[in-house]
Amino acid sequence: MQTKYLFAESLGVFGGSLAFTGLGLLLGLEGSPWALALLAALPYLTLPFDLLAGLLLDRLDRRALLLVGVWLRAGILGLLALLPKEPLFLIPLAFLFQAVLALDLPAWHALLVRLARNRLEREGGRLQAAQLLGDSLGDLLAPPLLLLAKPLPFALGGLLLAGEGLLLRNLPAYPPPRAAQGEGFTFRALLAGLAFLLADRRLLSLTLYALALGFLSGLALALLPLLALAQGTPPVLYGLYPLGLSFGGFLGSLLAGRVGPSLGIWGGHGLRTLGLALLLLPFPFGALGTLLAGAGGALSGVHLRAYRQRLAPEPLLGRVQAGAIALISAGSLLGALLAGALGGLGARLPLGLALLGLLLLLGLALGPLSPRRLEALRGM
């Protein structure tokens, strides 16, 4: 993966992060748990679009689709900058942004299999680190920009995404395999990647584990702005919390290529649990918790994804990656909606339930995901 392409992706993620961190703070200042839960749920409501993106990526040129998605998202952020800053206008466009974003990750993950099949943990970690570096910058700069002028995070975000589109113009073409081109656009073809994840015995335990992690993460973090502000965080410093998630993810992504799958998955589980526990402490200790939780999530995420990349057949590659995103997103959506329902009883309650769930999951998964079995799967 050339450095200029990693820089371009980092630039685009920086733009999206500016917009969504600013929007989160805007709703957090209004103090509505349901509005915040809806915003947190938006990326997970795009499940049909995730599946459609995978099907398109197995039928059309993956590079072309990636570029189309970048330019569409740049235009959406331009509209967000121009429209009144009311949820009625902002949330539907934010949903559309997330729907188009469904093309981005599966396209990059498929590209990595072609460029670095024997170095997936390392190159996947580099890509995720570039994305999270951009995310970190957006988390840090969005609150002061929003407080200076409400349109600023959205306008600057659109310009940064346009810059990504310009830098990716020379990305090599990546047409789909002929075996995939022969399939029709049927409902069965749409769900083929998801069916593979649930039917393949090698991947089933990993898939269910990732699904559980998605649910518990959504439950724990959906009300993060409300929790941070309730813990005495000054609004201008709220960005330290999402910054901790992003920068922690950046560090965990870089570490992923240097450790084996057992340490990557189980070490990530431990870091995530410890980090979420620290969120129960007042500011500024909660910001350290997001750093550890972000590092743990990224560390295990890179290794879990590498298994899917290695074991997926080429004609299903786009749909397997998109199907995994859709499945995990469905779990995260359920977690976020449950957090919204419980938010009236206090922002700490969903977080406490998520911590209990992580401890239970640790015991349940130790057998199916033992170090010996993880090493054996990696060699297939």
**CATH code of the domain covering residue 76:** 1.20.1250.20
18 within domain boundaries: yes
Over residues 193-205, the pLDDT tens digits come to 888 888 888 888 8
In the block, tokens 């999402």 appear at 242
Task: Tell me if 320 sits within 8 A of 196, measured CB to CB.
Answer: yes
- Using DSSP's 3-state secondary structure scheme, residue 370 falls into coil
pLDDT of residue 332: 85
- Per the domain annotation, does 108 fall within a domain? yes
Among 18, 150, 33, residue whose Cα is nearest residue 89:
150
Q: What residues of the chain score a pLDDT lower than 70?
A: 1, 29-37, 44, 87-88, 115-118, 177-185, 379-380
Tell me what pLDDT residue 1 has: 64
Residue 333 CA, chain-centre distance (Å), reads 12
pLDDT score of 164: 93
In a domain, 174, yes or no: no
Residue 122 domain-assigned (yes or no):
yes
Instruction: Report pLDDT for 182.
Output: 60
Task: Give yes or no for a contact between 354 and 219, defined as CB atoms under 8 angstroms apart.
Answer: yes
Q: Which residue type sits at 154?
A: F
191 burial level (CB within 10 Å; 0-12, 13-18, 19+): middle
Q: The pTM is what?
A: 0.73
Asked, for residue 211, whether it belongs to a domain, the answer is yes
Domain membership of residue 104 as a residue range: 3-164+188-378
Note whether residue 320 is domain-resident: yes
Per-residue pLDDT tens for 34-92? 666 677 777 767 777 877 888 888 788 888 888 999 999 999 999 988 887 776 677 78
CA distance linking residue 158 with residue 357, whole number of Å: 38
- At residue 379, the pLDDT reads 64
pLDDT of residue 272: 93
Contact residues for 130 (Cβ-Cβ < 8 A; gap 6+): 6, 7, 9, 10, 13
Cα separation, 368 vs 377, whole angstroms = 12
**Does residue 115 fall inside a structural domain?**
yes
In a domain, 244, yes or no: yes
**In the chain, how many domains are there?**
1
Per-residue model confidence (pLDDT) at position 72: 94
What is the distance, to the nearest Å, from the Cα of residue 28 to the centroid of all Cα atoms in its chain? 21
